[in-house]
Structure 1
Amino acid sequence: MSRIDRGSRTIGATPAAVYDALVDRGALEAWLPPDGMRGRIERWDPRPGGGFRMVLTYLDPTGNPGKTSDATDVVDVGFAELVPAHRVVQTAVFQSDDPAYAGTMTMTWQLAAVGDGTAVTVSATGVPPGIDQAVHEEGIASSLAHLAAYLEPGG
């Protein structure tokens, strides 16, 4: 069975608002970096077939060597599918000389209305073997918590 890294969270916002936060440059820079990192988008083309390049910088790289340099992960993300208020499918390629981080990872963000909010389910396939599954799922959970804080009233 192939590996699938997952995370999910119910967010107190409409599916349309969550979708908008998945395809807005400023929003992604604000909420996508997991705890202990900050992010900057260098290139932006928000359409199917387009994508972006994100530079993630470790706030404290001690014990967390980056994939691209000592303190950074650079990832080229493509928008494979954009279905407003329902789904965003991204392909991600890490810039790294280490073959353990080679390959294309697919991240699927599935949105479903639940009550007054949105159930957001993230699944990652094709995850490079150099990325520890538990650490990756912790990062997904952290990003989802940041997304909730970004969108929810008082967040």
Structure 2
Amino acid sequence: MDTSVLCNLLGVPGKSQDREKVLKDLKEKRAASGCDLLLPVTAVIETGNHIAQLSDGYQRHRMAEKFAELLLMVVEGKAPWALNEVEWNAAHLNALVQGGSTGMTLVEHAVSGVGCGDVNILIERDRYLARTSGVEAVVWTLDHGLAAHS
């Protein structure tokens, strides 16, 4: 899942216009057998940034608490998804610069308006596929630019 989905699940003000659809989709994905949901590191960082940038202090505090609770649920294995554990190393960074399996470099993505976070989510997906076998992995996103590569 990407940042757009996580923000909608949390109900982040200004970033959750599709909340009802995302909640419905989550319910359907959880009911589907063989569908595992992974939480990319990128989505965690970007969502935390969106929360920290909320102008209303009360909303910022409320959302930060809700976000922290959600992250603890992941740690405790109580969330409907697992953390996608990736190693931040030279191989990961090189894959990011090269654009992974997208056929475009990070520079080309930036020029076309696709951000580094979106490219990193795709790299996380690629690396997940490389360490698993017999699975298909798609990025659950509401972002049309990212969806074109997922």
Q: TM-score, normalization: structure 1?
A: 0.27
In terms of fraction of residues, the more strand-rich structure is 1
Greater RCO (Cα-Cα under 8 Å, separation 6 or more): 1
In terms of fraction of residues, the more helix-rich structure is 2
Larger-gyration structure (1/2):
2
